Structure 1
Amino acid sequence: MTYDNICKYLAEEYPLNFARWLFPTQATEVEVLKTELSLEPIRADSVTLLQSSNQILHLEFQTLPVLEPPLPLRMLDYWLRLYRQYRCPIEQVIIFLKPTTSEAVFVNEFTATNTWHRYRVIRLWEQDPAPLLADNALLPLAALARTDSPRRLLEQVGAQVARIESTPQRQNVAASVEILAGLRFEQNLINQLFREDIMKESVIYQQILQEGVRQGQQLGRREGEATLVVRLLERRFGSVDATILEQIRSLTSDRLEQLAVALLDFVAITDVASWLQSEN
């Protein structure tokens, strides 16, 4: 599951929270739309309808600003598709997740002969973390907000997550924080502040496993599961030694499933090597 898809999950799970953050005085009731925007070659990340004012909020989450077709053209295309179907006001917002010096993150319009289209751009690293810290659903974004002390901010996020009373929500928000925080923080620090056993029971982790199953259907179950495990290890520890990769790809499907669960308890790549050795 990519960083963009984590944000899509959050927006669709907590649409009213996102709408109130972006338009504090407007949103009172929100419905998630499933529209033809999901068709290729251009796909929207999350489209929500603000029923209270009969307008559409289109959210686009991006880690990297360079895409094909370019984002300004994509936003115009989305707007045309939405307006053709709903004929109501449309607010579009691109939320960039990772700091970059690219000029593309400062572009908020599409221009061509006789055509001009504008949309809103949010660079998350410039945003005040206070509104995000105040809303449980937005805590994963808070970890990427503006701060002079990143570690202190992540500690605040962790403390807020721990206060969430609903166990399923706490699990899913914690898992989302852990993944998105990887855009800014070293994995060792994330591991210090968040209990990884929480992630095991989260919807997020289950979706990651399901992604591996889908890959398995295309590449063969064992090969797909091995690919998933490698991706999880690389997300946790960076590059993985070729010897370890070879050992992982030689495991049976049952052993790969066991490793996928066990790796959440690992704190260093040496734990992987020890686990593999114990399996011989």
Structure 2
Amino acid sequence: MEHPRLTGDDYDTPWKDALTRYFPEFMAFYFPLAHAAIDWRQPHVFLDQELAQVVQDAELGKRLVDRLVQVATLTSGQQWVYIHVEVQGQHDAGFPERLFTYNYRLYDRYRRPVATLAVLADDSEHWKPDRYGYQLFGCEVSIRFPTIKILDYASQTEALLEDPNPFALVTAAHLFTRRTKGDPEQRYAAKWRLAKLLYERHWDKQRIIDLFGVIDWLMRLPAELEQRLLREVYTLERNVTMPYVTSAERFGIEKGLQQGLQQGRQEGLKQGEAALLQRQLARRFGPLPDAVIARLASASIEQLENWAIKVLDAQSLDDVLDQS
């Protein structure tokens, strides 16, 4: 499956944002039995820092999402428990052992039940691990974890498009990404179909932005087709009066579309790249000095793209911007 940004630490993917905002829907779609056992009247709490402390020595870069969530159950005997969710983007032979390790580390930390749940978004049709363990001298240690494979939904595309759960569309986007690899026109048609569905559901602005963020991140298009898609989206917006921002911000081509000139498109693209990188840096390292903002504004597109790649692995602003 074609994932454009699966290098370095991918913790800031739109996948993570969608799962965080719509966690009950995520559980209802992929893990309905677990969803039915959770008391959703009680708040669920994401434990990012706690998970980071547990997995700080792990290798990163192939997962799309890794979250630890504290939830209440409907069974009074175990009111508070923990869910470790991992959305895996690529085949990884060490994946089952890693989940085993995280599970026992989390249990050791909290001394409460920990459910490990896996969603596999990779492109390997026959890879579906659901357990890990070993035996020695009569001692047996193991874990079995529920695994959902996105490719298993391949024959249900039309049903996914009719399902009101937002993660049905996320799943469809993964499948369309795989199906249209190497065919930009077909990908354009599939992406436009998903975009229209977002508006036809009459969802609120934030949900449309969040979910199109996932679709947009998965289904990358050449700039020309992306511009065509934006024109269609703008026309659609005028009919539903709901603003759309994700691709426009990323490509920064609104100015180019208005002017209809190549120079405008290039300048708009540069502005969009700079704005996106500025948000990424601020999210990773905190408020940016004025000098850094000015440097981003004056940089070339090529330099901005090089810096954007470094953001994933850099430990500081200096590492990104090549500053000693």
The bucket for the TM-score relative to the shorter chain is 0.5 to 0.7
2:132 to 104, 107, 110: 110
2:213 to 175, 190, 208: 175
Match of 1:15 in 2: 23
Secondary structure (helix, strand or coil) at the match of 1:50 reads strand
Match of 2:148 in 1: 122
Contact between 2:90 and 2:123, CA under 8 Å: does it hold in 1? no
In 2, the alpha carbon distance for the partners of 1:119 and 1:187 equals: 41
User: Residue type matched to 1:181 in 2?
Assistant: M
Counterpart check, 1:211 vs 2:280: yes
User: Closer, same or farther in 2 for the Cα pair 1:51/1:161, shift >3 Å?
Assistant: same
User: Residue type matched to 1:52 in 2?
Assistant: T
In 1, the alpha carbon distance for the partners of 2:102 and 2:134 equals: 16
Counterpart check, 1:139 vs 2:169: yes
Aligned-pair CA distance for 1:109: 1.7
User: Closer, same or farther in 2 for the Cα pair 1:38/1:135, shift >3 Å?
Assistant: same
Aligned-pair CA distance for 1:79: 0.9
User: Closer, same or farther in 2 for the Cα pair 1:186/1:108, shift >3 Å?
Assistant: farther
Aligned-pair CA distance for 1:178: 0.4
Counterpart check, 1:52 vs 2:68: no
User: Closer, same or farther in 2 for the Cα pair 1:23/1:97, shift >3 Å?
Assistant: closer
In 1, the alpha carbon distance for the partners of 2:18 and 2:203 equals: 18
Match of 1:38 in 2: 52
Counterpart check, 1:158 vs 2:201: no
Moved more, 144-153 or 127-136: 144-153
2:100 to 73, 76, 86: 76
Query: Percentage identity across aligned positions?
Result: 16
In 1, the alpha carbon distance for the partners of 2:114 and 2:171 equals: 23
User: Residue type matched to 1:160 in 2?
Assistant: L
User: Residue type matched to 1:134 in 2?
Assistant: P
User: Closer, same or farther in 2 for the Cα pair 1:119/1:86, shift >3 Å?
Assistant: same
In 2, the alpha carbon distance for the partners of 1:153 and 1:89 equals: 41
Match of 1:65 in 2: 91
Secondary structure (helix, strand or coil) at the match of 1:98 reads coil
Secondary structure (helix, strand or coil) at the match of 1:59 reads strand
- 1:33-89 CA distance string (max 9 Å, x none): 31522121138711223323444332112222237xx21221012211232344444
Secondary structure (helix, strand or coil) at the match of 1:110 reads strand
Aligned-pair CA distance for 1:16: 0.8
User: Residue type matched to 1:32 in 2?
Assistant: V
Contact between 1:58 and 1:91, CA under 8 Å: does it hold in 2? yes
Contact between 1:48 and 1:56, CA under 8 Å: does it hold in 2? yes
In 1, the alpha carbon distance for the partners of 2:192 and 2:179 equals: 10
User: Residue type matched to 1:135 in 2?
Assistant: N
User: Closer, same or farther in 2 for the Cα pair 1:170/1:142, shift >3 Å?
Assistant: same
Contact between 1:136 and 1:160, CA under 8 Å: does it hold in 2? no
User: Closer, same or farther in 2 for the Cα pair 1:122/1:81, shift >3 Å?
Assistant: same
User: Closer, same or farther in 2 for the Cα pair 1:223/1:65, shift >3 Å?
Assistant: farther
User: Closer, same or farther in 2 for the Cα pair 1:147/1:175, shift >3 Å?
Assistant: closer
In 2, the alpha carbon distance for the partners of 1:22 and 1:228 equals: 40
Structure-to-structure mapping, 1:198-277, within 5 angstroms: 198-199=245-246, 200=248, 209-213=278-282, 214=284, 221=292, 222=295, 229-230=304-305
In 1, the alpha carbon distance for the partners of 2:123 and 2:23 equals: 25
Contact between 1:95 and 1:122, CA under 8 Å: does it hold in 2? yes
Contact between 1:126 and 1:145, CA under 8 Å: does it hold in 2? no
Higher relative contact order (CA 8 A, sep 6+): 2
* TM-score, with structure 1 as normaliser: 0.62
Corresponding residue pairs, total:
226
User: Closer, same or farther in 2 for the Cα pair 1:2/1:215, shift >3 Å?
Assistant: farther
User: Closer, same or farther in 2 for the Cα pair 1:208/1:37, shift >3 Å?
Assistant: same
User: Residue type matched to 1:140 in 2?
Assistant: V
Match of 1:277 in 2: none
Secondary structure (helix, strand or coil) at the match of 2:115 reads strand
Counterpart check, 1:100 vs 2:124: yes
- Which structure has the larger Rg? 2
Unaligned runs of 5+ in 2: 181-185, 235-243, 251-272, 310-320
In 1, the alpha carbon distance for the partners of 2:176 and 2:29 equals: 16
